Amino acid sequence: MAEHLHRLEEAERRDHRKLGAELDLFSFPTELGSGLAVFHPKGGLIRRLMEDYSRRRHEQEGYDFVNSPHITKAELFETSGHLDWYAESMFPPMELDEGQRYYLKPMNCPFHILIFRSRQRSYRELPIRMFELGTVYRYEKSGVIHGLTRVRGMTQDDAHIFCTREQMPDQLRSLLIFVLDLLRDYGLDDFYLELSTKPEEKWVGDDEEWAEATEALRQVALGMDLDLVLDEGGGAFYGPKLSVQARDAIGRTWQMSTIQLDFQLPQRFGLEYVGADNARHRPIMIHRALFGSVERFFAVLLEHYAGALPMWLSPVQARVLPVRQDHEDYAREVTRGLADAGLRVDTEAATEPLGARIRRAKLEKLPYVLVVGDSDVAARTVGVNGRGDAPPERGVPLDDFVAKARQEAAPPQRGTPA
């Protein structure tokens, strides 16, 4: 019982909605409507850092960046099947152009299919990997909307891989390794896998293809040395799904990345490539999102770290506090030196007692608070107050701190250009 109560207390302390307000990261203005967030400057910076690192890793893995509009004529989602199987989760249509129905997109995949279909493809081009940070809109019921973890407008780090049947096993294997490595880079490392199979009612295709796709996902999952659990009937209407389930710092499980194997949409859109035999063949399509959505992943990280994000993701990495006003020139010099070294740093003038300014910086969960006084001005040193329970360090040479901070602030280094 005591452990359960402690976990409840921790969950409340880590609630991303509370932290988002306290740390001035995001808000949900009532003028926008339920489930629609705006990110404030600090939250926007964190998002950019998350997204920029993801972009760099996708470049290393050989993805091509694409972009697609937010709305489309109904015809696209009629062909894909979303209007048959997913309409209850889509916003109502807009009628334009003398009665033409347009929909806000709930998925990016049909747009990427159109890019593939825009010209004739050869087997020599495959696999083709398309990546987009694409914003989608889903009409979630008001009762299930919850902070950033369940919203109506979200940005997915969406990618689709078009490959041959022969390439499929290796593509799935390398993709799952990429997924797990990327999640580890953000500090999540306790995983198991879940395999979602054919729904009982809402599905398209034939049993044989579903069985082949499900077995392919099962085989790649078994090769990862992680626990695998079955989610009977939890697949999408067009194919089975393999999802990465991650446990956070207090043991809660979050569904993170998903990989879906799809034989159906290439058929519905008539996708083809010319094989080595000069005949036309149908490609296999792999859907995947690593964050799931940027908003939800942001919330998971915020709760996992209780707001104290790793230094490379912290919007302000250090704050310089002069003890008195006559120390402010040196404080500005320290700030310039840290900024020139590539660190995100600010200064707070000595208009309040030092203790109050330190407490405020601690509440903002800054990685470092640097205090400068008489001895620091004379010796070109700083007093270092780090996060956590570590005692403050006095008289640290400025150059030594800059070198240490630069190393800590560097994004994860993984991967080589593809």
Alpha-carbon distance of 316 to 407, in angstroms, equals: 16
Active-site annotation holder among 14, 109, 198, 317: 109
Alpha-carbon distance of 81 to 110, in angstroms, equals: 10
Active-site annotation holder among 138, 288, 304, 357: 138
- Does residue 112 carry a catalytic annotation? no
Alpha-carbon distance of 187 to 67, in angstroms, equals: 29
- Candidates 138, 408, 181; CA nearest to 296 is 138
DSSP alpha helices (H): ranges in 39-193? 41-60, 74-80, 82-85, 109-116, 168-185
Alpha-carbon distance of 102 to 89, in angstroms, equals: 15
100: phi then psi, degrees, rounded to nearest 5: -70, 130
Active-site annotation holder among 47, 152, 156, 357: 156
- Candidates 163, 134, 188; CA nearest to 304 is 188
162: phi then psi, degrees, rounded to nearest 5: -110, 125
- Does residue 160 carry a catalytic annotation? yes
Active-site annotation holder among 47, 82, 129, 287: 287
The answer to whether the CB of 252 falls within 8 A of the CB of 4 is no
Active-site annotation holder among 57, 112, 121, 160: 160
Active-site annotation holder among 158, 185, 248, 376: 158
- Does residue 376 carry a catalytic annotation? no
Active-site annotation holder among 47, 241, 288, 296: 241
- Does residue 287 carry a catalytic annotation? yes
- Does residue 158 carry a catalytic annotation? yes
Alpha-carbon distance of 122 to 112, in angstroms, equals: 17
- Does residue 141 carry a catalytic annotation? no
Q: Which residues are catalytic?
A: 109, 138, 156, 158, 160, 241, 287
